[in-house]
Amino acid sequence: MSEESLRPNLPPLALHVPEPRFRPGDPVDFAEVVIPPADAARRPDTSAQPAEFHELAYTLVRVLDEDNQAVGAWNPRLAPEVLRRMLRSMARTRAFDERMFRAQRQGKTSFYMKCTGEEAVAVAATLALDRDDMCFPSYRQQGILLTRDYPLVEMMNQIYSNRGDPLHGKQLPIMYSSKDTGFFSISGNLTTQYPQAVGWAMASAAKGDTRIAAAWCGEGSTAEGDFHSACTFAAVYRAPVIFNVVNNQWAISSFSGFAGAEATTFAARAIGYGIAGLRVDGNDALAVYAATRWAAERARTNQGPTLIEHFTYRAEGHSTSDDPSQYRSAEEATAWPLGDPIARLKAHLVAIGEWDDERHAAMDREVAEEVRAAQKEAEKNGVLGHGLHQPLDSLFDGVFEEMPWHLREQQAQMLAEEAASGRPWARK
C-alpha cells in the first residue's frame, strides 16, 4: 500500500510564496501599519537585561507626536542648535544625492544610490555616536560621511573614479572608505560589514579601549549567513556593537516579506540571540538619535550589543540601475504613513519656534550651492565617462604590503602588452 493511500484526507503539501500587497497600478492603503502614540514605548535603564523589554522589539519607539512636539520617555531633549545641525546634515545629504544622481544620468559616473527618505537613519545615528566610534555602513549611509564633514569633493572624486579618487579607481562608485573619518570600506557583498564590526568591537574591548562599533544593513541582508554569525559572536562575547537594520520595505525588486517580514519584526531577531532589540520609527530623527544613544551607552558600559530595526521606506529606486515602477505602486512613497524625516524635523523646529520657512528655504539654497561648487571642483579631476585616470601599473597596488612574485609577473605582462599595442590604455 502506498504512502499516499494511508493519508487520503490530507491536502497536498504547498509552499507559501510571499507577495507584496501593492503592485504597479494598485491603490495604496497602509492601514495595516500599526503606529503607536509617540509616548507609548517605555525606556528601560541601559543596564536592564534584554529579556526585560522584549516588547520593544514589536512596537515603535517614537518621539515626535502628531503636533510635531517631542514627547515621551525617549525624548533626548536636544538643544535647538543640535536639531538645526541634524536638519542641515539631512538636507545636505539629499542635495548631494540629487546632484550625483543627475551626474550618473549625464554619463559622468556609472552608478549611484540615493537614500531619499532614509536620511535620519544615518545622520541622527552618527550625531548620537562619538566622533571616534567606528562605523561599518552599507551602501545607503552616505549621511555618516556628510555628518562627520568628510569633504564633498573627495566623495565626488571617488564617485567619478578620477585623478583625485582617494581609492584610485579600485572601488565601485559610492563604495567610500575613510579610516580617519571612522568609516569602514563599503563592500558590495551584502552584510560582510556585520562580522567585521563585531571583530573590531571585540578588539576594542580586548585592548581596553572605549570606542564602540556600529554597523548598518538592509532588512533583506538579515537573511545572509554573515548577519547570523555576527549576532552569535556579539551575543557570546557581549561585543560593544550596535546593529542597525534598515527596514525600508524593498530590495531591488523583492519586498521585505522574502526576508521574513510577514512572520515577525526584524528587531525580534535580537530576542533569539539574547541581545537587546529595539524597533524604531526610522523617519523620526529624534527617535533614531535616542535609540542610538541608549544603545551606545549599553555598549560602553559592557552591557553588550543592541539590534535596532529602523522602520522606514525607500522613497526612490534601489539604485540608478533600478526602475521601481516595474514592481511597486507609484503611490507608496507619498502614502507612507511615517512621512518624510526632513519634513518632520523641520516641522518640529517650527513648532518650538526655532525655525521658519524662510530660513529653511535659505538653507536648501545654501546646501545646493555648496554641492554644486564641490561638483565643479571635483570634475576638474575628470569624470568616469572620460576614461581611465590612474596609471595602469597601479592596478596591482594596494592589495599586499609587498607585491608577490606572481602579481609582479602579471603586471609586467600587462605593461608589455600595452606597449606592444602601440597606444596607451590609461591616462598617465
Q: Which helix (H) or strand (E) holds 22?
A: none
Catalytic residue from among 92, 94, 310, 314: 314
What would you report as the CA-atom Rg of the chain, rounded to the nearest whole angstrom? Answer: 24
Catalytic residue at 314? yes
By CB neighbour count within 10 A (0-12 exposed, 13-18 middle, 19+ buried), where does 7 fall? exposed
Sign of CA dihedral 102, 394, 380, 370: positive
- Provide CB contacts within 8 A for 76, sequence distance 6+: 63, 70, 286, 289, 290, 293
b vs e for 45-55, b when ≥16 Cβ sit within 10 Å of the residue's Cβ? ebeeebeebee
- What is the C-alpha separation between 116 and 212, in angstroms, rounded? 27
Catalytic residue at 289? no
- 5 to 1, 9, 252, 305: CA distances (angstroms): 7, 9, 45, 53
- Name all contacts of 417-420 with Cβ < 8 Å and 24+ positions apart: 418/392
Which residue has cell 526602475?
Answer: 323
Dihedral-angle region of residue 92 (phi above 0 means left; psi in -120 to 50 means alpha; beta otherwise): alpha
- What is the C-alpha separation between 267 and 271, in angstroms, rounded? 8
Catalytic residue from among 318, 344, 348, 360: 318
Phi first, then psi: what are they for 237, rounded to 5°?
-100, 5
- Provide CB contacts within 8 A for 314, sequence distance 6+: 116, 117, 118, 248, 249, 250
Catalytic residue at 406? no
**222, 257 contact by CB (below 8 A):** no
Catalytic residue ranges? 314, 318, 327
